[in-house]
Structure 1
Amino acid sequence: MTRIHERRSLWRRMRPYFMVFDAPLAIIVFLLFATSLVSLYSAGIDFPGRVEGQMRNIIVCFIAMWIAANVPPQTLMRLAVPVYTVGVGLLLAVFMFGIIKKGARRWLHIGIDIQPSEIMKIAMPLMLAWYFQQRAGVVRWSSFLVAAVLLAIPVGLIQLQPDLGTSLLVLAAGMYVIFLAGLSWKAIAGLVVAFFASLPVAWSLMHDYQRERVTTLLDPTADPLGKGFHILQSIIAIGSGGVTGKGWLHGSQAHLEFVPEATTDFVFAVFAEEFGLAGILLLLFLYMLLIGRGLMIAANAANLFSRLLAGAISMIFFTFVFINMGMVSGILPVVGVPLPFLSYGGTALLTLGLCIGILMSISRHRKLVQT
């Protein structure tokens, strides 16, 4: 009887650490992972080990999710400045001592190769959410200017690597926090005008490969067997899926190796060819549920920091989906952004797992505050 009582007491003490998952979020993520494994089995049929590797990545993602879900928002607030500072420091180290791969200086060797820009996808909204929390009720124009500087530093360092895709994601993450903190619509309109006015300058500052991506977007048929080949084949794969798709394992574009990066950035093309418009709508519905649940958590969060952080993370998922599907379908330049929870890759899944875990932590501690 004593041992049974001890086991029950131990379970009571440990139970809060295991009952941290937000049920709706967990179900949505599980369905997306199931879709990922189905798609990767087909897309990676000529790449042995892809499904097994993704399953390992999923386990790591869930561990990261569980750890983040157990970290209270108050602790996240205390970690915001150190994490941001370390992230910027690592970006500076990349700029000075980074490893060059495929013409880009994005990695730092510290026993293993790491990509510090990935840290900023979480560190940036953390930092800005903390900054506006400190100024709750007294936000002025100067506050937004300081926030813009805090955002511009890592975005500029990432763009120097160069890494347009990650810099856009970090920029979007920061801008969502600034917008949710109360930036006026007049200011937003001014930023839009300034953006279009700066395009000629931005074009002159672009690297040659970035300009080629834009010109290829405008007319991929200009070089159909060269720079435009991949995007044309991706568009063909999506269009050939029709309404119901060709069926699982019957996607000719992917299996004949016409679609580039079929298991990573362009997995959506494989999915669309095999499951058609019906599958695309179902996938978009899952992403809408994910984003909607995140925004619901943000709306009911306990304080300004949690609301800004949860709102920004939710919209980051939207940005991932929009940019990936846009580039794969030929309406945006190719910038190397994975499709959340579907694309193969360990680093991206680790980041996404931490983001989901943070949302679960905010949801859980809202309930604790209410009770």
Structure 2
Amino acid sequence: MRILIGALLLGAAVLAVLPVLTGYTSLDGTVNARFTVIAAPIEGVVSATPPKVGTAVPEGFQLFQIRNERIARTAEAQLEADLGATRERLRALEGQAGSLSAIKNDLAARLKEYQQASITGIQQEIVIRQQRITAAQAQQVSAQADLVRKTTLGATGVVAGSSVEQARAASVAATSEQAIAKADLERLSRQLEALRKGTFVGEGRNDVPYSQQRQDEVAIQLANVQMQARAERARIQQLERQIELERDRNDRLSTAIVRVPFDGVIWRNNVVAGSNVVVGNELTRLLDCRDLFVDILVNEIDYDDIRPGAAAEVRLLGSSQIIPGTVLSVRGSSAAVEEMVLAAVPPESRGKSARIRVALEPNPMQRDFANFCQVGRSVQVRIARATKRYQFLNGVKSLWFSIS
């Protein structure tokens, strides 16, 4: 019996010491998660009461709408008025451009008729000059024959010398008349060629008629009007773009739909239907169960033996299910760890206790929206020792450092 009792006591001692030798155990763990604050994007009135606290809501679920009926649309109205005035100016310029184009076409038609008539008249004069050249050639031949005949008769004394001189003068006049007719024909030919190219030679001091000058003036005015019309079209496009942007901005400021950004559970509601809100007001708190973690306390003596990435085992208090986890961070006892977005209060540090944060692997608690994903529940956490080499020697050195 004594041996049995001794063996039991020894086994109990071994069981009590064995967990300390093989790892670190904490009984102060708390399941924790973060919540998201959904704030008002615009000012206005809430249209409906959000779901009750504890309601599971899927991603994209519409919580409510915010309507603002007091938004000022002065800028949009001014832009629309400017757009209407610009369109009226454009219509006036287009009408003016149409009138100038009609005038230009009429002047071009009149110029073409005048040019054709001038060409026809010069062609007729060329025909007349050609006939005159033919007549002048005949007169020259006749005068030349008469001069030869009278010169022969004058040498024999049959014809007086004055007659010979008159015949010579008539021959010279016929030659000159022929030369003049040829020069006039050449002038008319050059004038006809210029007319066909659009240059009116001999029309006073101008090389073009009045209709063509007027056509050039109309062309300049038409170009100016078309340039102004292009500027007005560009202005219309700019105003339409500004109106679209202003209308979109007013629409965004007049109505906003508040949706759930991820699958979660309502943690807190601060508004009801008919509540007036301003930009930035907290409307709802949504619990984020996607990344559950546990905050535990471990004696700071073991700070160097627990490193981020170490494996851990988590067991809910009162449950036998083991949930695997991974150490995320290790902080000292005096580290400031206050976080405003945590759903549960981390365990309060007592003395020299390092604060360890352990991330939980995917588990059914992440979908347990009815129980707020078990947030705030106490857990037991065990972390295996990273190495056992020189553990005894390190303990002796620590003890010697403390004594000395």
Larger relative helix fraction: 1
Larger-gyration structure (1/2)? 2
Instruction: With the length of structure 2 as denominator, give the TM-score of the two structures.
Output: 0.19
Higher RCO, Cα 8 Å, sep 6+: 2
Larger strand proportion, structure 1 or 2? Answer: 2
The normalised TM-score by structure 1 is: 0.20
